[in-house]
């Protein structure tokens, strides 16, 4: 068996062949478009979650209002992508600007869902990949904007990941719990080492102090990052966790080391880089590992 096959990371190979004529249609362009439309709607909901969860607000009630004038946003002004374009990025009533982040997130999630179906066909594997990346995007956005990773994404996502991993076509059922434990534990060790460096003044600075609450201990990483990696492990299994942390740390270093050398001290939203590492592990983890084993170990 080639190394790449033995190294199947996670989320399965697309699951059992479903075969029927209906599913054959769904596997084609119709299915991809359908997934994209669903993704755009889900992206609209993700915008609500990203805005409200860090503030501790309900994501179900109340309905969305314009932050400028307080008008309830009508359904026809809330159609993903299209409304933002039709309204010229402004509120219908008060003409307050609507952030380009809203349509960008809707577009991104639409592309993720369409891409997952195009990649794996209409299958559990496609569903798992799309849910996984959507949750990662949510965590990256809240971490970047507020240094918070809501439990709904991390802990809730971990539970969903454990279910997907145990379903037919996924990894062996025990790979999810093992990956989740390893993800949490690995970051716990990284945080422990990072905090030791912080106490010695090797890293950190005023900007970090600025995001801390009164009396809060400075730390290199929040509990949210650890829970996020438990979620990644539940979806990708133990090998995927190691790859994600490696790739995420590499990306974070490549971005922040130059800033650090220029004398800027910035609090790093590590979740953003872990999300990028997890997507990379999902998409190219297997060929990357196979290549590494061949090149480095001569296997
Ligand atoms: Zn308004």
Structure confidence by residue, pLDDT tens digits, 212-254: 555 556 677 889 999 999 999 999 999 999 999 999 989 888 8
pLDDT of amino acid 26: 64
Distance 229 CA to ligand 1 centre (A): 38
pLDDT band at 14 (very low <50, low <70, confident <90, very high): very low
Average pLDDT for the chain: 85
Name the band, by pLDDT with cuts 50, 70 and 90, for residue 12: very low
pLDDT(139) > 70: yes
Cα of 97 from ligand 1 centre, angstroms? 8
SS3 184: helix
Rounded Cα–Cα distance for residues 142 and 105 (Å): 12
pLDDT value, residue 24: 62
**Residue that the structure tokens 């990371």 belong to:** 9
Residues 6+ apart with CB under 8 A from 183: 226, 229, 230, 231, 232, 233, 234, 241, 244, 245
What average pLDDT does range 36-44 have in this prediction? 97
Terminal Cα distance for the chain, rounded: 12
The pLDDT of residue 106 = 97
Q: What is the per-residue pLDDT for 200?
A: 78
- CA–CA distance, 188 with 206 (Å, rounded to integer): 24
Helices 223-261 & 270-297 angle (0-180, nearest 10): 80
Q: What is the pTM (predicted TM-score) of this model?
A: 0.85
pLDDT tens column, 41-92: 999 999 999 999 999 999 988 888 898 898 999 999 999 999 999 999 999 9
* Model pLDDT, residue 216: 59
Q: How far is the CA of 53 from the centre of ligand 1 (A)?
A: 22
pLDDT band at 7 (very low <50, low <70, confident <90, very high): very low
Residue 180 CA to ligand 1 centre (angstroms): 43
Q: Please compute the mean of the pLDDT values over residues 134-161 and round it to a whole number.
A: 96
pLDDT-wise least confident of 102-116, 156-170, 210-224? 210-224
C-alpha 129 – ligand 1 centre gap (Å): 36
Q: What share of the chain in percent tops pLDDT 70?
A: 84
DSSP string covering 99-146: -THHHHHHHHHHHHHHHHHHHH-SSHHHHHHHHHHHHHHHHHHHHHHH
Ligand 1 center–CA 83 separation, angstroms: 14
Lowest mean pLDDT of 103-107, 151-155, 171-175, name the range: 171-175
**pLDDT, tens digit, 9 for 90 and up, residues 283-294:** 998 888 888 888
Over range 22-43, report the average pLDDT: 85
Q: What is the pLDDT of residue 254?
A: 87
As a whole number, mean pLDDT of residues 135-160 equals 96
Ligand 1 (ion): residues with CB under 5 Å are: 66, 68-69, 91, 93-94, 96
Whole-number pLDDT of residue 168: 82
Cα gap 140→112, rounded to integer Å: 15
Ligand 1 mean position to 73 CA, how many Å? 9
**pLDDT at site 21:** 60
User: If you ran DSSP here, which 8-state letter would residue 149 be given?
Assistant: -
Percent of the chain beyond pLDDT 90? Answer: 57
């Amino acid at each position: 068996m080639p190394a790449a096959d033995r190294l199947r990371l996670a989320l399965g190979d697309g699951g059992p062949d479903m075969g029927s004529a209906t599913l054959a249609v769904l596997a084609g362009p119709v299915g991809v478009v359908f997934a994209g439309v669903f993704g755009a709607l889900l992206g609209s909901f993700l915008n609500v979650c990203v805005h409200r969860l860090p503030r501790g607000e309900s994501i179900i009630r109340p309905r969305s209002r314009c932050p400028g004038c307080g008008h309830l946003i009508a359904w026809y002004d809330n159609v993903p992508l299209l409304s933002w374009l039709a309204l010229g990025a402004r509120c219908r009533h008060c003409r307050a600007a609507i952030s380009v982040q809203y349509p960008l997130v809707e577009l991104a999630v639409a592309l993720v869902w369409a891409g997952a179906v195009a990649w794996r066909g209409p299958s559990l594997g496609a569903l798992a990949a799309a849910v996984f990346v959507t949750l990662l995007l949510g965590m990256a956005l809240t971490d970047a904007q507020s240094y918070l990773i809501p439990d709904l994404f991390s802990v809730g996502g971990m539970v969903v990941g454990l279910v997907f991993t145990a379903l037919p076509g996924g990894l062996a059922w025990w790979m999810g719990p093992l990956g989740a434990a390893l993800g949490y534990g690995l970051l716990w060790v990284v945080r422990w080492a990072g905090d030791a460096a912080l106490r010695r003044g090797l890293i950190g600075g005023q900007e970090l102090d600025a995001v801390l609450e009164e009396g809060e201990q400075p730390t290199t990483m929040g509990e949210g990052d650890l829970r996020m990696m438990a979620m990644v492990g539940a979806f990708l299994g133990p090998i995927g966790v190691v790859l994600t942390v490696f790739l995420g740390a590499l990306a974070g270093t490549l971005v922040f080391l130059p800033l650090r050398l220029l004398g800027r001290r910035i609090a790093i939203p590590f979740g953003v880089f872990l999300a990028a590492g997890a997507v990379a592990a999902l998409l190219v983890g297997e060929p990357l590992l196979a290549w590494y084993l061949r090149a480095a170990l001569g296997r």
